[in-house]
Amino acid sequence: MRTIAVIPARGGSRGVPGKNLLRLGGVPLLGRSIWAARHAHRIDAVFVSTDDAAIAATAERFGAQVIHRPAALSGDAASSEAALLHALDTLPAHPGPPERLVMLQCTSPFTTGEEIDRCVAALDNPAVACALSVVPDHSFLWGISPQGFAVGVNHDETRQRPMRQTLPPQYRENGAIYAMRVAAFRKVGRRFCGPVAAIPVPPTGPEIDDLADVTLCAALESARPAPPLPPGLAALAFDQDAATLPPQQAAVLRQHGIHPLPLPAPHALHDALQALSLTPAQLCYVGTDLECLRLAGCAVAPAHVAPELANLAHLLSPQDGVEQTLAWIVRSLIGAREASGS
């Protein structure tokens, strides 16, 4: 069954201006969502629905296809479902309509490909029409009665307070992943379009709705061992006159299937890729050459570079200088490969 991911990402945002292009861990929120979808084995194509030119350019740079959303579906009152229906109606005719649809939200920056695959896999059960990601929640919830008094929602405040361990399992929607059968979704126009499967995922952080959420997610990201990276990287290029790679690190990279490419000059990059039968999408480039940054599937620039370089970089390093940035990305690449067992 063909499955597509659609990421709604309009230009306007009241709580955090420019939120979808905000960098977290050096990567725009939109880019993190696209890379997560590209890591999912069950996603056949990734689309971004937007009304914004800068978001569209970023989406294409990170490997997604763009669906240009009309202004009538891009205001504060427009629903995500409306954007999804518009996307389904305007998809390319080839290779045919999808049977499964996944909506991802940029406001959940720690989504993984494995979590997306688990939500899609729930639809393998013919009784399930849709699925969503949730996190375990052991909170005692309260509401307000018509008389203005607090009343228990998932507990009875008029009885002896139960122990948390005795409460039935409950989960909170984390706003990250929604998977649905296209036919069922089209029939009712809602993401919850029939029997729902709840897929528990780790509670990695909040949805980003305001600046306090940004601060918390930035703190959580700083504690993570490696930044997000796209799938399929097979070569690491860097400016030879600005950085060196210790032989031991080069050997470890090769063991993990990544070819180190110290470039005597930026124009040598095309020849180096051709010699290895690799495409630019498989290349991670660390440096400050404009053409190399434009070419690479994962372009990494040092911190505090000029705006035109920063705009081209998929990932901005926390380090200054190419030498320090190279050392940082090598640790990240090796750590990611060791964590995945590849």
Angstrom CA distances, 247 to 202, 251, 258, 319, 341, stand at 38, 6, 14, 22, 22
Which residues, in sequence order, are bridge partners of residue 24?
27
Residue-wise pLDDT for 257-292, tens only, equals 999 999 988 888 999 999 999 999 999 999 999 999
Q: What angle do CA 87, 93, 94 make, to 5 degrees?
A: 115
pLDDT at residue 72, rounded to an integer: 83
Which residues are the active-site residues?
161
What share of the chain in percent tops pLDDT 90?
75
- Coil/strand/helix, residue 229: coil
Instruction: Please compute, for residue 161, the number of CA atoms within 13 A of its CA located in the half-sphere on the CB side.
Output: 7
Name the pTM for this structure: 0.92
Low-confidence ranges of the chain (pLDDT < 70): 340-342
Say if residue 95 is preceded by a cis peptide, omega within 30 of 0. yes
DSSP alpha helices (H): ranges in the chain? 29-39, 53-61, 80-90, 113-121, 182-188, 211-222, 247-255, 269-275, 290-295, 307-312, 322-340
Q: Which two tokens stand for residue 68?
A: 């240009």
pLDDT at residue 342, rounded to an integer: 62
Rounded distance, CA 131 to CA 225, Å?
30
Contact (CB, 8 A) for 304 and 319: no
pLDDT at residue 336, rounded to an integer: 79
Question: Pick from 100, 109, 87, 154: which is nearest to 131 by CA?
Answer: 100
pLDDT at residue 341, rounded to an integer: 66
